[in-house]
């Protein structure tokens, strides 16, 4: 049962020493009850109080970590229903499924292609997280061979999928020292699956036909000493997937209902049709899967899912930023212009990509605007003539160019007069408002 802020306060030392970063123990207690801080931030909690607080301080959705050979896929630890309330922490893992009735060479070929796929998006490499090996043969040897084929082609984490414990046990032998997810325990096999999970330190997928049944199952499995659970509540179509995902998240986060406080595994791949699979996967990313199993893989379908996932799982309070500095585009010479923008990554990549694509050389000066876009930064006083002039001097751009020409984004044309005053020996030009118009402007006006 979750404790209130006042109940937590009564268990704290009440010395207001501030070492936790908060001015009073009460302020820390309130943050703890909102699950916005870790209990470990207070070094003075007594062991007795720690025991009492541990349950309350634990995140409402358990963190599950699949590990293998230096890779890990994490899900859970979420504390809010909506991203704008705080942030979402752990991106749902995207796993590509292969079947044990496929030839080993075909499995290796598919897995190698998926494993090698990476797309650079605003300076980050986006990739899938791992693979699912599903038993369709029911044969432990065929299953072990398929697991071996996946492991030969990729080191990423694996989910083993069969309702037969002897099949799963055969797959686990090929994954010694790893932390896979075994899927799954149902009303009939749960005891043997719980034993397997415990012996192999694997996470356990739990399958139930209703939320009431799921809550009962997770409690029984926890009583056997297996805590790392992932739940499959069904809901393969859009409507039921949304309803179940939302109900589970709401019960876990708002009611602290521990029996459903686990990441959900979703199976958009069961749709068969790649287009329907993509739509269901997009819904699973937003509402509220922890692991997502896909059958189809192509750059066209995986790219939008990776980008959607990245955008949903960025901290809304911390814009994605690039390092302020001077970026050389298309090998600029000292006579080429200096373009100015802010360090909001999407702004930077919009400008850089347009100029790079045009083949025109330029020096791109990225100023520190605390990760805001041009207009937002200007409105917030983070992108003004003084800051731009300071960046020009700080980055010593005058040492790189012989023709001192600086191009302001058109949205902040209003700064040109002040910038002339700040940089009297520079020619101040006003460029277009949109990055897409930069190439034409550079050809015609510079
Ligand atoms: S560190 Fe602990 S004792 Fe000190 S103010 Fe924070 S909660 Fe109170």
Cβ proximity of 278 and 306 under 8 Å: no
Pocket flag, ligand 1, residue 16 (CB < 6 Å): yes
Q: Tens digits of per-residue pLDDT, 116-129?
A: 999 988 778 999 99
Q: Tens digits of per-residue pLDDT, 293-329?
A: 999 999 999 999 999 999 999 888 887 888 899 999 9
Pocket flag, ligand 1, residue 29 (CB < 6 Å): no
Pocket flag, ligand 1, residue 82 (CB < 6 Å): no
Higher pLDDT, 31 or 102: 102
Q: For residue 35, what pLDDT band results from cuts at 50, 70 and 90?
A: confident
Left, alpha or beta for 70 (phi > 0: left; psi -120 to 50: alpha)?
A: left
Residue 43 has pLDDT above 60, yes or no: yes
| C-alpha to C-alpha distance for 341 and 239, rounded to whole angstroms | 44
Query: What was the pLDDT predicted at 413?
Result: 96
Pocket flag, ligand 1, residue 49 (CB < 6 Å): no
CA dihedral 190, 196, 197, 202 (to 10 degrees): -140
Taking residues 251-259, what's their average pLDDT? 92
Query: What was the pLDDT predicted at 39?
Result: 87
For ligand 1, mutation pick of 41, 44, 57 (most atoms within 8 Å of CB): 44
* HSE, side-chain direction, 13 A CA sphere, residue 309: 28
Higher pLDDT, 79 or 358: 358
Taking residues 192-219, what's their average pLDDT? 97
Query: 25: CA distance to ligand 1 center in Å?
Result: 5
Q: For residue 184, what pLDDT band results from cuts at 50, 70 and 90?
A: very high
Q: Which of 193, 222, 220, 195 is nearest to 55 (CA)?
A: 222
Query: What was the pLDDT predicted at 86?
Result: 84
Query: What was the pLDDT predicted at 56?
Result: 67
Cβ proximity of 408 and 379 under 8 Å: no
Residue 95 has pLDDT above 60, yes or no: yes
Residue 45 alpha carbon, nearest atom of ligand 1: 2
Query: What was the pLDDT predicted at 23?
Result: 93
Higher pLDDT, 123 or 64: 64
**DSSP letter (8 states) at residue 3:** P
Pocket flag, ligand 1, residue 12 (CB < 6 Å): yes
Looking at 45-54, 199-208, 222-231, which range is the least confident one? 45-54
Query: 3: CA distance to ligand 1 center in Å?
Result: 17
Query: What was the pLDDT predicted at 377?
Result: 95
Q: Is 24 helix (H, G, I), strand (E, B) or coil?
A: coil
Pocket flag, ligand 1, residue 20 (CB < 6 Å): yes
Taking residues 48-58, what's their average pLDDT? 79
Query: 26: CA distance to ligand 1 center in Å?
Result: 9
Query: What was the pLDDT predicted at 59?
Result: 82
Looking at 46-50, 222-226, 372-376, which range is the least confident one? 46-50
Pocket flag, ligand 1, residue 323 (CB < 6 Å): no
Query: What was the pLDDT predicted at 183?
Result: 98
Cβ proximity of 202 and 221 under 8 Å: no
Query: 12: CA distance to ligand 1 center in Å?
Result: 7
For ligand 1, mutation pick of 11, 14, 15, 24 (most atoms within 8 Å of CB): 15
What percent of the chain clears pLDDT 90, i.e. is strictly above it?
85
Residue 19 alpha carbon, nearest atom of ligand 1: 1
Query: What was the pLDDT predicted at 58?
Result: 75
Query: What was the pLDDT predicted at 121?
Result: 80
Pocket flag, ligand 1, residue 30 (CB < 6 Å): no
Query: What was the pLDDT predicted at 271?
Result: 83
Taking residues 243-265, what's their average pLDDT? 95
Query: What was the pLDDT predicted at 122?
Result: 72
Q: Tens digits of per-residue pLDDT, 200-209?
A: 999 999 999 9
**DSSP letter (8 states) at residue 15:** -
For 141-197, give the DSSP string.
Answer: HHHHHHHHHHHHH--S-EEEE-S-HHHHHHHHHTTTT-B-EEEEE-TTTHHHHHHHH
């Amino acid at each position: 049962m979750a404790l209130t802020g006042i109940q937590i306060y009564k268990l704290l030392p009440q010395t207001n020493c501030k070492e936790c970063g908060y001015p009073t123990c009460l302020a820390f207690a309130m943050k703890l009850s909102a699950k916005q801080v870790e209990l470990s931030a207070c070094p003075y909690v007594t062991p007795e109080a720690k025991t009492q607080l541990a349950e309350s301080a634990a995140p409402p959705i358990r963190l599950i970590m699949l590990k293998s050979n230096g890779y890990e896929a994490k899900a859970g630890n979420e504390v809010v229903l909506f991203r704008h309330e705080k942030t979402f922490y752990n991106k749902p893992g995207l796993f590509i499924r292969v079947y044990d009735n496929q030839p080993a060479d075909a499995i290796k070929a598919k897995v190698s292609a998926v494993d090698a796929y990476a797309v650079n998006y605003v300076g980050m490499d986006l990739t899938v997280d791992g693979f699912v090996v599903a038993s369709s043969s029911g044969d432990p040897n065929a299953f072990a061979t398929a697991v071996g084929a996946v492991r030969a082609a990729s080191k990423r984490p694996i989910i083993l999928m069969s309702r037969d414990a002897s099949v799963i046990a055969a797959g686990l032998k090929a994954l010694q020292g790893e932390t896979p997810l075994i899927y799954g325990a149902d009303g009939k096999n749960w005891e043997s699956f719980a034993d397997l999970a415990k012996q192999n330190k694997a996470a356990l997928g739990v399958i139930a036909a209703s939320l009431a049944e799921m809550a009962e199952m997770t409690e029984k499995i926890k009583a056997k000493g297996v805590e790392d659970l992932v739940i499959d509540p069904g809901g393969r179509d859009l409507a039921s997937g949304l309803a179940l995902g939302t109900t589970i998240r709401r019960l876990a986060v708002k009611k602290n209902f521990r029996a459903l406080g686990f990441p959900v595994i979703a199976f958009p791949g069961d749709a068969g049709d790649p287009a329907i699979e993509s739509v269901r996967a997009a819904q699973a990313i937003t509402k509220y899967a922890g692991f997502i199993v896909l059958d189809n893989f192509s750059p066209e379908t995986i790219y939008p899912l990776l980008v959607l996932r990245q955008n949903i799982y960025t901290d809304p309070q911390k814009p994605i930023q690039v390092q302020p500095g001077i970026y050389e585009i298309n090998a600029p010479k000292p006579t080429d212009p200096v373009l100015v923008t802010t360090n909001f990554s999407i702004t930077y990549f919009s400008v850089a990509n347009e100029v790079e694509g045009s083949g025109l050389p330029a020096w791109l000066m990225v100023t520190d605007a605390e990760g805001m876009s041009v207009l937002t930064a200007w409105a917030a006083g983070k992108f003004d003539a003084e800051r731009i002039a300071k960046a020009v001097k700080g980055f010593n751009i005058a040492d790189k160019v012989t023709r001192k020409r600086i191009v302001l984004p058109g949205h902040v044309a209003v700064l040109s007069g002040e910038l002339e005053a700040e940089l009297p020996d520079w020619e101040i030009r006003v460029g277009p408002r949109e990055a897409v118009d930069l190439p034409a402007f550079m050809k015609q006006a510079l």
